[in-house]
Amino acid sequence: MPEVQTNKPGGKVAGFDCDTLVVGGGISGLAAALTLKRKGVDVRLLESRGYLGGAVRTVRDQGYLLEFGPNSLMVRPEDELREALVELGLSDRILPASPLSRNRYVVKGGSLFPVPMSLPSFFRTPLLSWQGRMSILREWRVPPKNDGQEETLSHFVRRRLGEEPLQYFIDPFVKGVYASHPDLLSVEAAFPLLARLEQEHGGLIRGGIRTYLKRRKTESAVFRGMFSFEGGMSVLAEAIGAKLGQDVGTSVDVIKYTRLEDGFRVALMYDETEYYMTSRNLILATSAGQAADLLGGDADGPSAELNAIPYAPVTIAYAGFSKEQVTHPLDGFGLLCPSVENRKILGVVFSSSLFPGRAPDGKVLLTVFVGGMTGQKIANAFDEDLERIVLKELAELLGTGGKPEFFRIHRWEKAIPQYVLGHNEAVRTIRKKLPPGLSLAGNYLDGISLARAYASGVRAAEEIVASGRRLPA
């Protein structure tokens, strides 16, 4: 195993190969390992793929820079990831999103309209009728719900804002973030901020204004708004990987776990050979389903609850055109398609407008998202069918003409965990069922954004440290 030392020089620590073993080299596992290493814990990380980053993956192909996973990142002042970016020396490599990205288009009747971002545009937008506008303005008079019952996002939005804002603002936003539908998600679990604005401030408008004013005071100039890195999002994973150095092993698949009296033993496959490794503590930083598989043999463990967390499939098509082939100015972040519009795609990111260097000179890159919870069939369509569907949608919505000079598809069978009704309760049960020394990290626990996935890794590491189950150095 050239890339990871199972035994540090000087031999095993108190009979174990390491103090804490992290399984999974996505952003949550990297966060856990980095946090532990900073605290002086003897930690190793194993990742089954040949690269670090998991969903975070940047690929260069024929002069285009493709993001297979997140295309950008946002951090709030309180996010652990923000501190890590500074410590990793990445603040200098930040690439802020173009100011154009404030423009976000929503499809209505086959045409694109920008989401209103100011009061005058709110009163002019064709995305809402006058009734729709009035139902939003009346929101501040809607009393908070106090029955303690969990609500779907659509129920919450209908109750507070009305049907039209649900259809043309919230539904497309949910497609863009969760690849889902507002009927399927729990407002408390998937959008805790919305639930808090209602509970703490009495409403969304009131709470939104107060939060915005407070945030403006604490926002830093460097981390304002959305950003990526020169070189793409993989820069983040590579920077953490470099800090972890020899303590990381890639192309190592953890296939089995066994509880020992005071620790854990895992079986792993590397280069078609089976190895074993023991640790005092274990962090599983995988998807919920992968954690369920590993814990499957443990009758008292949370496998059933982990397996019950649904994931949306997402297929991504990358299309590169010459600028002259596209009639739309692509002056924005991208477009989203509300469910009521019955389009075949979820949305499009105008990648080459968002960040420089995403397409060769004179070309544009469009990143098209397909599938999600309500489009499982189309997510699984054959490549040729998918290409035909995507190009037809692009021609209708953005006026692209002819064949693209570049076309590539990437598929995520299980892209985004779904925070459905009962999710928070399920996560509490999962955590309760974990044996001492075992922690979980991942985007199905504390939020799906990169910043929240990172926070889940920090939390798992801190749980281990707080448990006091440390091995002598």
User: Is 332 in contact with 105 (CB distance < 8 Å)?
Assistant: yes
Amino acid at 31: A
Which listed residue (290, 315, 352, 367) binds ligand FAD by CB under 6 A? 290
Site string for ligand FAD, 244-283 (x = CB under 6 A): ---------xx-----------------------------
Query: How many whole angstroms separate alpha carbon 387 and alpha carbon 270?
Result: 36
Q: How far apart are the first and last CA of the chain?
A: 24
Query: How many whole angstroms separate alpha carbon 35 and alpha carbon 292?
Result: 24
- Per-residue exposure over 223-258, b if at least 16 CB sit within 10 Å of its own CB, e if not: beebbbbeebbbbbbbbbbebbeebbbbbbebeebe
Q: How far is the CB of 135 from ligand FAD (least distance, A)?
A: 30
**DSSP-assigned beta bridge partners for residue 60:** 65
- Please count the residues of this chain forming the interface with ligand FAD, following the rule CB under 6 A: 36
Which residue's Cβ has the minimum distance to ligand FAD?
Answer: 26
Q: How far is the CB of 243 from ligand FAD (least distance, A)?
A: 16
Q: How far is the CB of 254 from ligand FAD (least distance, A)?
A: 4
Residue 107 or 282 with smaller CB distance to ligand FAD:
282
Q: How far is the CB of 295 from ligand FAD (least distance, A)?
A: 11
Q: Which stretch in 7-15, 44-52, 270-278, 397-405 sits in contact with ligand FAD by CB under 6 A? A: 44-52
Query: How many whole angstroms separate alpha carbon 295 and alpha carbon 304?
Result: 10
Which listed residue (6, 20, 48, 228) binds ligand FAD by CB under 6 A? 48
User: Is residue 173 helix, strand or coil?
Assistant: helix
Q: How far is the CB of 347 from ligand FAD (least distance, A)?
A: 11
Residue 136 or 453 with smaller CB distance to ligand FAD:
453
Assess 172 for contact with ligand FAD (CB under 6 A): no
Query: How many whole angstroms separate alpha carbon 176 and alpha carbon 123?
Result: 24
Assess 56 for contact with ligand FAD (CB under 6 A): yes
Assess 285 for contact with ligand FAD (CB under 6 A): yes
Query: How many whole angstroms separate alpha carbon 51 and alpha carbon 30?
Result: 12
| DSSP H or E stretch at residue 417 | strand 406-417
Residue 374 CA: distances (Å) to CA of 60, 287, 318, 444, 449:
30, 21, 21, 19, 21
Residue 107 or 450 with smaller CB distance to ligand FAD:
450
Q: Which stretch in 75-83, 163-171, 376-384, 410-418 sits in contact with ligand FAD by CB under 6 A? A: 410-418
Cross-sheet strand order for the sheet of 111-114: 111-114, 104-108, 334-336, 347-349, 363-371, 311-322, 406-417
Closest CA to 450 of 264, 223, 231: 223
Residue 167 or 353 with smaller CB distance to ligand FAD:
353
Assess 27 for contact with ligand FAD (CB under 6 A): yes
Within 65-94, the residues that bind ligand FAD by CB under 6 A are 69-73
Residue 128 or 440 with smaller CB distance to ligand FAD:
440
Catalog residues that contact ligand FAD under the rule CB under 6 A: 23-29, 46-49, 54-56, 69-73, 253-254, 285-287, 290, 294, 314, 412, 415-416, 442-443, 448-450, 453
